[in-house]
């Protein structure tokens, strides 16, 4: 919790079911501004459901969610249409968030300047993952929920993902990250939750 | 602070830029409009008076049917390409709604214009200023309905239901638009009906859209 008690994310007894399938058993999770929380767990353990509920793109079956500001959910490769260029996609986000000045900086940071005017459909999966990170950066959200942000990234890209997380945190965002690869992202994480079959486990931190 | 109008404009411009790059509406709708008008002409037979009297109805039928593939641009295409969740977080519901409506209004009005020009050329039909006004008004209401059902179908991922929902909802545009652009018909009442259709569809879309955007 921050000094003034404000939370960037507050999930109270939240659960998520799809028909008879319990994707997420009731859980409580709170995040302060400027913190990173890693979400780990096996495939199908509920990581994506947790992130989607936290971001507000999936309605929880029970419980309440509170985010004082904009929340965004981004899966690796999301954030740009196939016929957009990275520059168009990121410029749109920058315009919507009233931060057009950060577009070129984000492109440069993620090593996208040289391919900024190519169609996204012509990019590799790793390059698209970098576009997603640039989108997250320009969004300047109160809460960023990043689903496998290092998927498809090479070693240099993974380091850049850590840099993006650090910058988001520096801007005061809370960052919830689902990942199987915590070697790099673990260095910038403040906390970690582990899910097993939709149930929050004690974090092995 | 970026206003709703500014954000809606950005959403609409994004739609235009996407169309300029992908030409999805043009490649899907333009051949459909041409083929339907030509086939309708062949089906109606060679009598010029029959073709002339059927021309406004054919144009509007084409526009209403063209709304079905265009509805995919509202949410389904965004979801498939990993942008729907971002848009929902990024834009207020009203900005997303008006931006999408504006873009669809342009496509549907363009479809009506192309169909009307084709019927003018092939059926020797003519349209009036009130007919053109009806084209703009009918396309606006139809755009509102298309965004509404496009969001519903996009959320439910049941695209097969789209035509079932959209075509009856486009009936007022079809009826009033046809009458408003028929020479010799007093268009005033039909234009008033189109204005009412626009107000109702846009009000319903405005009220329902935020709910549809929730998870």
Q: What percent of chain A has pLDDT over 90?
A: 85
Number of domains chain B contains = 1
CA pair distance A26, A199, nearest whole angstrom: 8
Range of the domain at A21: 9-79+139-202
Instruction: Give the closest of A55, A75, A98 to B89, CB-based.
Output: A55
Contacts of A71 in chain B (CB under 8 A): 89
Number of domains chain A contains = 1
Q: Which two tokens stand for residue A135?
A: 């989108």
Q: Which residues pair with residue A192 across a beta bridge?
A: A38
Average pLDDT on B189-193 reads 96
- Which of A151, A156, A77, A79 is CA-nearest to residue A111? A156
> Does A127 reside within a domain?
no
Asked if A95 is an interface residue toward chain B (Cβ–Cβ < 8 A), one would say yes
> Does A131 reside within a domain?
no
- CB of B72 within 8 A of CB of B188? no
Q: How does residue B215 score in pLDDT terms, banded at 50, 70 and 90?
A: low
Please answer yes or no on whether B215 and A81 come within 8 Å at the CB atom: no
Asked if A159 is an interface residue toward chain B (Cβ–Cβ < 8 A), one would say no
Q: Is residue B209 packed enough to be buried (19+ CB in 10 Å), middle (13-18) or exposed (0-12)?
A: buried
What CATH number is associated with residue A53?
A: 3.40.50.300
Q: Is the pLDDT of residue A3 over 50?
A: no
Helix H, strand E, coil C: the string for chain A is: CCCCCCCCEEEEEEEEEECCEEEEEEEEEEECCCCEEEEEECCCCCHHHHHHHHHCCCCCCEEEEECCCCEEEEECCCCCCCCCCHHHHHHHHHHHCCCCCHHHHHHHHCCCHHHCCCCHHHCCHHHHHHHHHHHHHHHCCCEEEEECCCCCCCHHHHHHHHHHHHHHHHCCCEEEEECCCHHHHCCCCCEEEEEECCEEECCCC
Q: What percent of chain B has pLDDT over 70?
A: 96
Please answer yes or no on whether B89 and A53 come within 8 Å at the CB atom: no
> Does A24 reside within a domain?
yes
> Does A161 reside within a domain?
yes
Q: Which of A58-62, A156-160, B157-161 has the lowest mean pLDDT?
A: B157-161
- Average pLDDT in chain B: 91
Instruction: Give the closest of A59, A82, A88 to B214, CB-based.
Output: A59
Q: Is residue A147 packed enough to be buried (19+ CB in 10 Å), middle (13-18) or exposed (0-12)?
A: buried
CA pair distance B18, A88, nearest whole angstrom: 10
Please answer yes or no on whether B90 and A83 come within 8 Å at the CB atom: no
How many beta-carbon pairs below 8 A join chains A and B?
76
What are the tens digits of pLDDT across the range B44-74?
999 999 999 999 999 999 999 999 989 988 9
Asked if A151 is an interface residue toward chain B (Cβ–Cβ < 8 A), one would say no
> Does A66 reside within a domain?
yes
Give the helix ranges, DSSP H, for B45-187.
48-70, 76-80, 84-90, 93-122, 129-156, 162-169, 171-180
pTM of the model: 0.89
Average pLDDT on B66-86 reads 91
Structure ipTM: 0.88
């Amino acid at each position: 919790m921050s000094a003034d008690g404000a939370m960037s994310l507050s999930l109270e007894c939240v659960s998520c079911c799809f028909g008879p399938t319990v994707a997420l058993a009731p859980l409580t999770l709170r995040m302060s501004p400027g913190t990173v929380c890693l979400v780990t767990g096996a495939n199908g353990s509920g990581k994506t459901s947790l992130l989607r509920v936290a971001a507000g793109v999936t309605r929880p079956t029970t419980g309440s969610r509170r985010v004082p500001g904009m929340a965004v959910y981004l899966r690796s490769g999301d954030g740009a249409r196939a016929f957009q260029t990275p520059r168009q996609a990121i410029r749109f986000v920058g315009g919507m968030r009233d931060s057009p000045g950060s577009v070129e900086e984000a492109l440069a940071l993620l090593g996208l300047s040289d391919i900024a005017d190519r169609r996204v459909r012509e990019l590799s999966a790793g390059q698209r993952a970098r576009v997603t990170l640039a989108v997250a950066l320009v969004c300047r959200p109160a809460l960023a929920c990043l689903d496998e942000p290092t998927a498809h990234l090479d070693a240099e890209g993974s380091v850049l993902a850590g840099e993006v997380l650090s910058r988001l945190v520096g801007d005061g965002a809370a960052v919830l990250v689902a990942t199987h690869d915590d070697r790099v992202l673990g260095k910038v994480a403040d906390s970690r939750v582990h899910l097993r079959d939709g149930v929050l486990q004690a974090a092995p931190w | 602070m970026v206003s709703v109008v500014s954000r809606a404009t950005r959403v609409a411009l994004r739609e235009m830029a996407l169309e300029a790059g992908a030409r999805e509406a043009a490649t899907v709708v333009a051949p459909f409009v041409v083929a339907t008008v030509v086939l309708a002409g062949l089906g109606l037979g060679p009598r010029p008076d029959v073709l002339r009297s059927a021309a406004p109805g054919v144009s509007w039928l084409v526009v209403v049917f063209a709304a079905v593939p265009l509805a995919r641009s509202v949410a389904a295409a965004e979801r498939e390409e990993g942008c729907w969740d971002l848009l929902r977080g990024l834009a207020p519901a009203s900005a997303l709604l008006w931006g999408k409506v504006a873009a669809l209004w342009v496509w549907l009005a363009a479809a009506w214009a192309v169909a009307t020009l084709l019927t003018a050329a092939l059926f020797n039909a003519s349209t009036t200023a009130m007919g053109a006004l009806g084209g703009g008004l009918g396309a606006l209401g139809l755009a509102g309905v298309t965004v509404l059902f496009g969001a519903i179908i996009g959320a439910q991922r049941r695209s097969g239901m789209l035509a079932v929902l959209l075509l009856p909802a486009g009936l007022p545009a079809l009826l009033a638009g046809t009458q408003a652009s028929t020479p010799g018909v007093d268009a005033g009442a039909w234009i008033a009906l189109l204005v009412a259709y626009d107000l109702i569809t846009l009000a319903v879309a405005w009220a329902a859209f935020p709910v549809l955007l929730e998870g």
